Amino acid sequence: MMFRKTLLALSVSALLTACSGSDNSTAADSQTTKVDIQVSQAKRALDERLACNNPSNIQTACNLRMYQVMVESFIDADSTAGYGTGYGTSHHNGDIAGITASLDYIKSLGMNAVWLTPIFKSTARDGQDQWADRLDATGYFTSDYFSIDPNFGTLEQARELVEQAHAKGMYVFFDGVFGHHKGNVAASPSGLKPTTGKKQGNAGFEAQYPQDLEFYKEVATYWVNELKIDGWRLDQAYQIPVDNWEEIRTAVETASAAQTYSLNGQTVNPLGYMVGEIWRGASDISAQGYGKEGSPALTSAFDFPMRYSMVQTFAVEENGSGNRYATNLDNGFVAHMAYPEHAMPNLMLGNHDLLRFGDLLQRGVIASPNSPEYWERHKAAISFMAAYSGPITLYYGDEIGDQVEDFVSKLDPCSGDTGMCDDHVARSSAKIEGLATTVGGEITVLNAQQADLKNYVSALMAMRAAHPALYNGSRTHIHSDKDIYIDRKDAGDDHILYLVNTKGRNTRITIEADAIGSEGDLINLLEDDTVTLTDGNYTINLPPYTAAFYEISSPADQGPLVSTAAVSLSGKGDLADCTKADADGFGPMGQSIWIRGTYAGGDGFMATPDSHKFRYKGDDLYQVVVKHPTATVFTFKFATQSWSSEFAVENSDAVTVGQQQSMTRAVGPGTESSIVVPEAGSYVYSFKINGFGDAGTMMVSQCK
């Protein structure tokens, strides 16, 4: 394995935001850190595998900047439409006309696509309760896939929405629920109906495949032909067998190729893009969505693993786990190793099932809207999305730092009738500048912080649209540590250096020119600023929670400096010994421990296979040798069957194969570590527990 080597020195000074996560700051000692960085050639090649990380594979979908709308909670512009009930905290009267009225605003953000939650007809069943009424308002249990729900509007209003969006240069995606339905489903134009399969809660029924395949192919192609939509977001895509996704996708692509429309004055075909929602780990997303290498099922799915790495770093995730190092962002990209080459992950900060980023900041006791840090962290997180190769999705309201007032003050994560539940609290009433949220209501005027964030988002999206290196570029990871993250992005003649400070230190960064493969000025793409080359170095000041995008005006022919040094996957010492004999008993742990995780056979942390069970070796050491038949990536903990003990790498950092690392308790979801096993072989997983049973050292080492 060959590695790039770069040199970067950081000097850190000024104020450090209190580690407790309060809105106040406290002085911190200055510190200087010099870092030797090794950028893996193999890892760079891995990053270039995926569809949008390969600059020679130019696809329009890589440049999608999608704006997600929850229809019933968005803008109410039609007094004749509206549910008046629903899950979440909104007015529940949003409609299609409200989305059409918002198109200019959405375009002003630099977004070039709109995704609507389902707008098809849901017919109430006799005797259904208020909870089913609320579910009908979401659209996620459909009764008639070929009719627009009158509570949202009319077919002609839907047609007007699509046509106006196209005229403004924006794509439109509907939400396809092809794995479950209301049960009282109307026949298709050709007379097909889905079967009534297994009941799904009190809401409806699961679809049955392959029996229902032809029905859902007709649904998927009908709206491409009828309204010339550009594709589908696919709800709970794991409910459909992966082989059937290939047939549905092919049908949509064929229908799209047969239609044309005018997109901002240019004649085009509907895009035919389909993105799956598989709210699981990378291995499951690959197996249940993308399918096999060389035989694509879906070609895009939401990048949930990276989303969690992102919020863990810039805020906390829903369970409160966060304050991760900047290295955690690079760890998120590690999950992409599980995907086949045709994969086109789509990154989002939030959606209608997750907490808003603003509420996560408050849940983590990090920052509230009256703090500058609240707005700075929003900017930093969205900047990371702007630097991501592949389609991205912005949930309505995140561009203005929206949050649900007093949500985090409620101890119960779900308070019933108020709609204050983790999985739907983000379905709050939209605030669209220049429009009234409800018919006859007051026109929305943004405050200074909201307007500033909105303008920053618009600038990011305009920059992203203009630079293929950002949305369709290969990624070379230059450096990450506790605070700072740096990537170089390349596509053709476009070369961008992206830096972000994820923490509260003001950081002065000195980078050797060879480290980033540059021989001239670095030109700031967002500000009037040029960094010149002085004595072979660049000096960049990066305030807390600030990102910077620099164009590399004179890239070196060889790119970032390459080292010929090889890095061994085999460690040294007792923790790397694959041949130790077992000792009697359970040792100081007093019970059995397993590697529990998202590896094949791990059942998403639920399984405890004997092949991953530790054996006590004596002297407080536990080991298990695992045979990996192929290169792989997964997340894991060392844990008992009852989860009474849980361990991961300190700060839930990633494993570095062949190196000893500190291990600490990692209680609760979201605290696991990730690992890349770069080649097939046998590996010994070892940990040595300390005298208190709450920490120790660990290693994963290839057996020679």
Q: Which two tokens stand for residue 677?
A: 């096993």
Distance CA 607, CA 372 (A): 44
User: What DSSP assignment string belongs to 469-515?
Assistant: HHHH-EEEEEEE-SSEEEEEEEETTEEEEEEEE-SS-EEEEEEEHHH
Distance CA 615, CA 657 (A): 20
pTM, two decimals, is 0.90
In degrees and rounded to multiples of 5, residue 516 shows phi and psi of -115, 5
Q: Which two tokens stand for residue 50?
A: 């995926």
pLDDT-derived band of residue 514, with 50, 70 and 90 as boundaries? confident
- Is the pLDDT at 38 greater than 60? The verdict is no
DSSP secondary structure code for residue 414 in this structure: B
- Provide the strand spans (E) within 166-209: 171-176, 180-181, 199-200, 204-206
Pairing assessment for the beta strands 65-69 and 113-116 based on DSSP bridges:
parallel
At residue 411, the pLDDT reads: 59
- Is the pLDDT at 448 greater than 50? The verdict is yes
Average pLDDT, stretch 578-599?
Answer: 94
- pLDDT tens-digit map of 414-443: 766 667 889 899 999 999 999 999 999 999
Do 549 and 541 form a contact (C-beta atoms < 8 A)? no
At residue 127, the pLDDT reads: 85
User: Rounded to the nearest 5 degrees, what angle is found at the Cα of 39, between the Cα atoms of 36 and 40?
Assistant: 135
Q: Determine the 3-state secondary structure of 287 from DSSP.
A: helix
Distance CA 346, CA 391 (A): 5
At residue 563, the pLDDT reads: 55
Sequence letter at residue 202: N
Distance CA 388, CA 393 (A): 11
**Cβ-based neighbours of 639, under 8 Å, separated by 6 or more:** 593, 594, 596, 605, 645, 646, 647
Omega of the bond prior to 210 within 30 degrees of 0, cis? yes
- pLDDT tens-digit map of 321-366: 888 999 899 888 888 888 999 999 999 999 999 999 999 999 999 9
- Is the pLDDT at 40 greater than 60? The verdict is no
Distance CA 678, CA 670 (A): 23
At residue 425, the pLDDT reads: 92
Q: Determine the 3-state secondary structure of 433 from DSSP.
A: coil
Strand partners, 633: 676
Distance CA 57, CA 471 (A): 12
Closest CA to 701 of 624, 590, 632, 649: 624
Give the range with max mean pLDDT: 269-278, 630-639, 676-685: 269-278
pLDDT-derived band of residue 12, with 50, 70 and 90 as boundaries? very low
Q: Determine the 3-state secondary structure of 416 from DSSP.
A: helix
Which helix (H) or strand (E) segment holds residue 621: the answer is strand 621-628
pLDDT-derived band of residue 412, with 50, 70 and 90 as boundaries? low
Q: Which two tokens stand for residue 117?
A: 């939650």
- pLDDT tens-digit map of 99-150: 999 999 999 999 999 999 999 999 998 888 888 899 999 999 999 999 999 9
- Provide the strand spans (E) within 70-190: 113-116, 120-121, 144-148, 171-176, 180-181
The residue ranges of every structural domain in the chain are: 2-54+473-566, 66-466, 574-702
- Is the pLDDT at 220 greater than 80? The verdict is yes
Which one is predicted more confidently, 469 or 599? 469
Rounded alpha-carbon distances, angstroms, from residue 44 to 2, 334, 544: 11, 11, 28
Sequence letter at residue 21: G
User: What DSSP assignment string belongs to 301-364?
Assistant: BB-HHHHHHHHHHHSB-TTS-B---THHHHHHHHGGGGS-TT---BEES--TTS--HHHHHHHT
**Cβ-based neighbours of 572, under 8 Å, separated by 6 or more:** none
At residue 198, the pLDDT reads: 80
- pLDDT tens-digit map of 198-212: 887 777 899 999 999
66-466 and 574-702, same CATH topology: no
CATH class of 66-466: alpha beta
Distance CA 423, CA 413 (A): 9
At residue 346, the pLDDT reads: 98
pLDDT-derived band of residue 562, with 50, 70 and 90 as boundaries? low
Strand partners, 415: none
Average pLDDT, stretch 262-291?
Answer: 94
Which one is predicted more confidently, 561 or 464? 464
Do 11 and 32 form a contact (C-beta atoms < 8 A)? yes
Query: Could you tell me how far CA 410 lies from the centroid of its own chain?
Result: 27
Please provide the CATH number assigned to the domain covering 2-54+473-566. Answer: 2.60.40.1180
Q: pLDDT > 70: what percent of the chain?
A: 91
Q: Which two tokens stand for residue 315?
A: 């805020």
User: Rounded to the nearest 5 degrees, what angle is found at the Cα of 222, between the Cα atoms of 218 and 228?
Assistant: 145
Do 343 and 305 form a contact (C-beta atoms < 8 A)? no
Sequence letter at residue 9: A
Closest CA to 598 of 637, 653, 563: 637
Distance CA 282, CA 314 (A): 21
Q: Which two tokens stand for residue 313?
A: 């770093």
Sequence letter at residue 204: G
At residue 461, the pLDDT reads: 98
Q: Which CATH architecture has domain 574-702?
A: Sandwich (2.60)
Distance CA 461, CA 456 (A): 9
At residue 360, the pLDDT reads: 96
In degrees and rounded to multiples of 5, residue 275 shows phi and psi of -125, 125
- pLDDT tens-digit map of 650-682: 988 889 899 999 999 998 877 889 888 888 999
